[in-house]
Amino acid sequence: MKSFRALSALLSYPNEELIAALPEIDAVLQAEGLLGPKRMEEIRRLLQELRQGDLYDLQERYVLLFDRSRSLSLNLFEHVHGESRDRGGAMVDLLETYRAGGFDLVGSELPDHLPVLLEYLSTRPLAEAEALLADASHILVALAERLTRRETAYAGVLSALVALVVTEPAELPEELAAVPDDDPEDLAALDAVWEEAQVTFGPDPNAGCPVSRDILARMDAPRVANPAQ
C-alpha cells in the first residue's frame, strides 16, 4: 500500500522535495484509509509542522532526534544487536529478503533503516507487510514512547505503525525499557557512543538518502531491482 511509502517519506530527512510532496502524502493516507481518525490527527500535526516550519530548523531538529540520539535511531537492529556480529547477519538476511522481493537499495542507508523498510513494505501485500512490521513491534513501541516523551510530532508516525501491528497494549521489553534517553546536546558522550563506524550496505555511499529523493515520482513507481522483469 502507498500508505507505507507515505509514512516512509515522513520519517525521512526534511528537504524541499518532501515539503512539496506533503499534499500528496496527506491525500494518499486519506484515500487508503489504513490509519484511523486518531492516528490521522496525530499525523496531521507533523504535516502541519513540516508545512509551516523553517526548513533549516526542521532539518536541525531531525538530526538532533534521529542522528544524534542513539536511543531514537531509525536503524532498527541498532536497538537489539548494537555493534555485535549478530547485527551483520541480520542485516544480510534482510537485504536478501529485499532482493527476493525485487527491491534493491540505491543509496547509502542500511537495510534496517525504518524508512527503507517501510518503502519495501509498500511493495508487498498488506498482510505480508503487517507481518514483517510486527517482527519489529517491540522496537516500534520503544521508539513511539521515547518520541512521545520528547513531545515531538514524529511520535504520531511511530504510534500509527504500532497501532497497525499491536492489537493489545504492549509491555516494553525490559532491555529496551532500561535504555536511558540520551542527550543530543552532549557531544562528547555522543562521540563515544558512535565511535564505531557503521557498515554501508548500499552500492554508493555518496548517493544520498533513497527515501527523500524524488518522492513525488516514486509514489507511483516502486523501486525494483530489475524494472524489465
Q: Which amino acid is at 7?
A: L
pLDDT for 12-62, tens place per residue?
999 999 999 999 999 999 999 999 999 999 999 999 999 999 999 999 999
Per-residue pLDDT, 181: 61
Q: How far apart are CA 123 and CA 219, in angstroms?
A: 11
d(CA 93, CA 88): 9
Q: What is the pLDDT of residue 177?
A: 53
Does 205 reside within a domain?
no
Q: And the C-alpha cell for 5? A: 511509502
Give 129's DSSP letter. Answer: H
Q: Which of 113, 70, 99 has its CA nearest to residue 224?
A: 99
Residues 59, 42: Cα–Cα separation, whole Å: 20
> What single string gives the DSSP state of each residue in 56-117?
HHHHHHHIIIIIS-GGG-SBGGGGTTTTSHHHHHHHHHHHHHHHHTT----SSS-TTBHHHH
Cell digits for 160? Answer: 500509527
| Structural domain range at position 166 | 2-194
Q: Could you tell me if 129 and 4 are in contact, meaning their C-beta atoms sit under 8 angstroms apart? A: yes
Q: Angle of helix 16-32 relative to helix 37-52, nearest 10 degrees?
A: 160
The structural domain count of the chain equals: 1
Residue 206 lies in a domain: no
- In this structure, is residue 120 part of a structural domain? yes
> Rounded distance, CA 93 to CA 91, Å?
5
Q: Does 120 score more than 60 pLDDT? A: yes
Q: How confident is the model at residue 194 (pLDDT cuts 50, 70, 90)?
A: very low
190: in domain: yes
Q: For 141-180, what is each residue's pLDDT tens digit?
A: 999 999 999 999 999 999 999 999 886 545 555 555 555 5
On the question of pLDDT at 65 being above 90, the answer is: yes
In a domain, 140, yes or no: yes
